[in-house]
Amino acid sequence: MKLKKILSFGLAATMIASLAACGNSVPEASVGASGNNVIKIGVFEPTTGENGGGGYQEVLGIRYANETHKTVKIGDKEYTIELVEVDNKSDKTEAVNAANKLMGEKVSVVLGSYGSGVSIAAGQIFADAKVPAIGCSCTNPQVTHGNDYYFRVCFLDPFQGTVMANYAIQNGYKSAAVLTQLGDDYSSGLGLYFKTAFSELGGTVVDEEQFQTNQTDFKAVLTNIKAADPDVIFAPSSITTAPLIIKQARELGIDSLIAAGDTWENSTIIDNAGTDAEGAVLSTFFDEAEPANSEAEAFITGFKEYLKKNNQSDIIPAVSALGYDAYLAAYNAIEAAQSTDGEAIKEALKGVSYDGVTGSISFNEEGDANKDMAFIKTIKDGKFEFLTTTTING
């Protein structure tokens, strides 16, 4: 599959000159069991814990990208790209341990993580080791803020919160309750951005509630929300928590629209919430019915076959597409840098621009993807159904 790459000649020339000056234009390769030159890419994802389901979907996208882009040429040598996977267990303390393990494996670049909190927790470790990290779906602004070594291919929570507020207002929902998880960077951040945007657009936030990590009984906070009688409940939360909130809200007779962010695009939520999930609305990064370009079309065909081969549903989660795109960012940067050195790859990432599965991707000064569109989906007849695309201006 041919990658479309745009990299300024000036940046490439500057990098090559600076690397040559350091006497390290192409560092010595590690040698795999087969005798081939190997470059290692770390996969920093939760495959267990609260976010294990979403993390695994992201890993699948990365693994598929590794199958389709297995080797890269550096100078006159062909390198095999080897994935080194660690489980950060959806936990900030475990995230530090997992990040340190990857640094011990001498990876050249890291992909992940699903979950902003674990990404933030590990960020300084990657920066201290001068190894760039590329987030797939970690949307909290703090992931990249102040960290020159963290990039990401997804849009951010301020954008996501605003487009969801736009959607609510444009569809006649004038009052909202916001329900978030205490201490969770993703949930708290996205809830705040929705609240701010909804208020600025003329809506009224009639109630704000929080719940604890690992909480399973939400009836007390939902009773407060029911008393406030909002038109919409915005409840950004994990895959594990979402069906509990949905079911308990409906059991209490709450008929408000229930809305959330990208984490809710997971079929296990529908499986566990059943018919109570009908009508829920969420924002996400990708829809297989609306391919952005030829790269997306080829990915959809190939990845569906890959999912079937691995006994997975052939419905493509947006985070799998983002995992694939994060791998492409690393691949393009390695080619541009012509090096296995983390510092050189980091510098190359600043100038990388390519057609990814989720659209054209390049990075701004913060390391965030230049993206301006989100997909809005609803749950209908037990499936996710595309509603519309929207921008920050509606």
Kindly give the pairing relationship between strand 175-181 and strand 232-234.
parallel
β partners of residue 359: 356
> How far is 28 from 165, CA to CA, in rounded Å?
51
Task: Check whether 31 has a pLDDT greater than 80.
Answer: no
DSSP H/E element including 109: strand 109-111
- In DSSP notation, 253-294 reads T--SEEEE-GGG--HHHHHHHGGGGTT-EEEES--TTS--SH
Are residues 278 and 385 in contact, defined by beta-carbon separation less than 8 angstroms? no
Between 106 and 390, the more confident residue is 106
Task: Check whether 65 has a pLDDT greater than 60.
Answer: yes
Q: What is the pLDDT of residues 260-282, one digit of tens each?
A: 999 999 899 999 999 999 999 99
Taking Cα atoms as reference points, which of 84, 70, 147, 81 lies closest to residue 116?
147
Ranges of CATH 3.40.50.2300 domains, the chain: 9-155+291-363, 157-284+375-390
Q: What is the CATH number of domain 157-284+375-390?
A: 3.40.50.2300
Percent of the chain whose predicted confidence (pLDDT) is above 70: 90
pTM as predicted: 0.83
Burial degree of 205 (CB within 10 A; 0-12, 13-18, 19+): middle
**Count H helices, E strands: the chain?**
12, 16
Q: What is the pLDDT of residues 325-372, one digit of tens each?
A: 999 999 999 999 999 999 999 999 999 999 999 999 999 999 999 988
Q: What is the pLDDT of residues 223-255, one digit of tens each?
A: 999 999 999 999 999 999 999 999 999 999 999
Measured between alpha carbons, how far is residue 356 from residues 230, 299, 367 in Å?
Answer: 39, 10, 16
Are residues 181 and 210 in contact, defined by beta-carbon separation less than 8 angstroms? yes
Percent of the chain whose predicted confidence (pLDDT) is above 90: 85
Are residues 330 and 71 in contact, defined by beta-carbon separation less than 8 angstroms? no
DSSP H/E element including 169: helix 157-170
Length of the chain: 394
Whole-number average pLDDT of the chain: 91
- In DSSP notation, 290-311 reads S--SHHHHHHHHHHHHHHHHTT
Token pair belonging to 260 = 């959330």
- In DSSP notation, 121-149 reads HHHHHHHHTT--EEESS---GGGTTT-TT
Q: How far apart are the first and last CA of the chain?
A: 34
Count of beta carbons in the 10 Å neighbourhood of residue 35: 7
Measured between alpha carbons, how far is residue 53 from residues 107, 319, 369 in Å?
Answer: 25, 11, 24
The tally of CA atoms less than 13 A away on the side-chain side of residue 338 is 17
Instruction: Give the model's pLDDT for residue 393.
Output: 57
> How far is 122 from 99, CA to CA, in rounded Å?
6
Q: What is the CATH number of domain 9-155+291-363?
A: 3.40.50.2300
User: Phi, psi at residue 329, to the nearest 5°?
Assistant: -60, -45
Instruction: Give the model's pLDDT for residue 16.
Output: 36
Residue type, 8: S
Are residues 279 and 171 in contact, defined by beta-carbon separation less than 8 angstroms? no
Measured between alpha carbons, how far is residue 108 from residues 83, 129, 267 in Å?
Answer: 11, 10, 34
Instruction: Give the model's pLDDT for residue 10.
Output: 39
Q: What is the pLDDT of residues 275-331, one digit of tens each?
A: 999 999 999 999 998 888 899 999 999 999 999 999 998 889 999 999 999 999 999
Kindly give the pairing relationship between strand 204-211 and strand 175-181.
parallel
3-class secondary-structure state, position 230: coil
Task: Check whether 6 has a pLDDT greater than 90.
Answer: no
**The residue to which tokens 């009984």 are assigned:** 217
